Amino acid sequence: MKSKETQKIVMSGMFIALVTATTFINVPYPGSVGGLMHLGTLMLFIIALKFGKYYGAISGGIGMAIFDIIGGWMAWAPGTLVVRLLMGFVVGWIAQSKKGQGQNLSKNILAIIAGGLVMIVGYYLYEAIFLTSFGAASLSFVGNGAQITIGLFSLIIIKYIPNPFKDNNGYN
For the chain, list the domains and their CATH numbers.
2-160 (1.10.1760.20)
What is the C-alpha separation between 131 and 127, in angstroms, rounded?
5
State pLDDT tens for residues 17-44.
999 999 999 877 665 555 678 899 999 9
pLDDT of amino acid 30: 65
Contacts with 58 (C-beta within 8 Å, 6 or more apart), sequence order: 12, 15, 16, 85, 88
Contacts of residue 103, Cβ cutoff 8 Å, sequence gap at least 6: 97
Bridge partners of 159, per DSSP, are none
- Please write the tens of the pLDDT for every residue from 107-138: 999 999 999 999 999 999 999 999 999 999 99
Is a pLDDT exceeding 50 seen at residue 160?
yes
Residue 146 confidence (pLDDT) above 90: no
pLDDT reported for residue 163: 65
